[in-house]
Amino acid sequence: MFKHLFKLIWNKKKQNFLLMTEMLVSFMVLFAVFTLMVYYYDNYKKPMGFKYQDVWVININNSYQTKNTDSLDLYYETLRKIIKSLPQVKDLSFVSGNVPFSNQINQGGLTFKGKHIDHLNNFTAEDSYKETMDLDVLEGRWYNKSDAVSKYKLVVIDADLKEATFGKEQAVGKLLGNDDDKKKMKVIGVIQTIKRNGDYVKAGPGLYFRADTGSFRWLSKILVKVSPGADAAFEGKLYKTMAGYMKNSNIEIEHLTNKLKDTNYFAVIPMIVLSIVSCFLIINVALGLFGVLWYNINKRKGEIGLRRAIGATGNSVSSQLVMESMILATLSLIIGSFFAIQFPLLNVFDLSAHIYIIGMLLSIIFVYLLVLVCSLYPGRQAAAIYPAVALHEE
């Protein structure tokens, strides 16, 4: 029977071409949507890497101009004391501008043991960063005072970078650096990757350097951990205190909770738009499919009647029609999968292969279900036609 259906489909390739194209297009659109969804979900599942609740970001533009490093340090250490003395401040840390959920980036690359790592984030942070952020240290430790007098240049890496460089092995104590650099950095700790691009978008690997004397020249932000009850009144007080000290400087206070919301929003919007567009498309395809199958059945009433007359049951007629659609779907899906598989093979968007594969499987299942649903009813309808009536109508 299979061979028979193949012949029938093959001999009607012209009519079936349109139907197959429709199925192919819906597969490709679904593939895009599902891959994006799986990608988002994959990132969503991962831990945030720190506690963003009750962390505020203060943007300071460095109004204090001096060539003298000592007086620069003194100026900012005084600022630190002033802020820390406020009752609701638990901890604070001066950091480079690329804080979580901001669109500032500072990226570079690294070629380590022949492997090139792109989009590598470089962060500069202080010893107090760990407490302020409540970091999750996976291996080794975060920086402390003793690191000021180290022989090596030290580095803390995040889990993503560790995975890319050392794989499953221990990283602490190992040297890290570009293959052609003589002076390597020594890894002292591995922290959980911070989802700096929000819940849904991959953050990329990160390197954390310790802020040393003179870093204040370009540490343009302060992260402040406040106690849970800190409110707008306190925020005003914080602002006033700082403004009093930093004359004619722009100070801006933001909450990480809000910044996360905004960041997520920008990730979710394209997702929603894409979903709506694809929903319409799928509805269109479904109606088209349904219409074509319905039309087919009416056009093929003579054939249906004949098959009934020579020994087909109603059920076998209806399953034949459903099977024909499923074969068409299978052919389209084979072609579609061939295109889809190029994405992980050519590594088009730098996503890991399993995301594409799951996206592909989901779209295959969806297309099969769609075709099944769209052909079941016309198929059932065909089975219900009286053979005498069907034969009569040609």
Partner 1 sequence: MIRLQNIEKVYRTDTIETLALNSISLDIAKGEFLSIMGPSGCGKSTLLNIMGLLDAPSKGMIKIADKSTENLNDKQLAQFRNKTLGFIFQSYHLINDLQVLDNVELPLLYRDTTAKERKRLATEALEKVGLANRVKHFPTQLSGGQRQRVAIARAIVGRPDIILADEPTGNLDSAMGNEIMEILINLNRNEGTTIVMVTHDENMAQKTHRLVRLFDGSQVQ
Contact residues: partner 1, CB under 8 A: 1, 3-4, 7-8, 11-12, 302-303, 305-316, 386-388, 391-392, 394
By beta-carbon proximity to partner 1, the closer residue of 114 and 311 is 311
* Smallest distance, partner 1 to C-beta of residue 307, A: 7
CA distance readout (Å), 141 to 80, 135, 138, 190, 286: 24, 10, 8, 7, 56
* Smallest distance, partner 1 to C-beta of residue 390, A: 9
By beta-carbon proximity to partner 1, the closer residue of 96 and 296 is 296
Contact 138, 163 (CB under 8 A): no
By beta-carbon proximity to partner 1, the closer residue of 118 and 394 is 394
* Smallest distance, partner 1 to C-beta of residue 328, A: 14
* Smallest distance, partner 1 to C-beta of residue 6, A: 11
**Assigned token pair, 250:** 């722009």
Contact 19, 292 (CB under 8 A): yes
By beta-carbon proximity to partner 1, the closer residue of 185 and 312 is 312
Q: Residue 141 belongs to what H/E stretch? A: none
By beta-carbon proximity to partner 1, the closer residue of 337 and 381 is 381
Q: Classify strands 185-191 and 137-140 as parallel, antiparallel or unpaired.
A: antiparallel
Contact 59, 252 (CB under 8 A): yes
| C-alpha span between 8 and 4 (Å, rounded) | 6
* Smallest distance, partner 1 to C-beta of residue 11, A: 4
Torsion sign, CA atoms 116, 208, 168, 182: positive
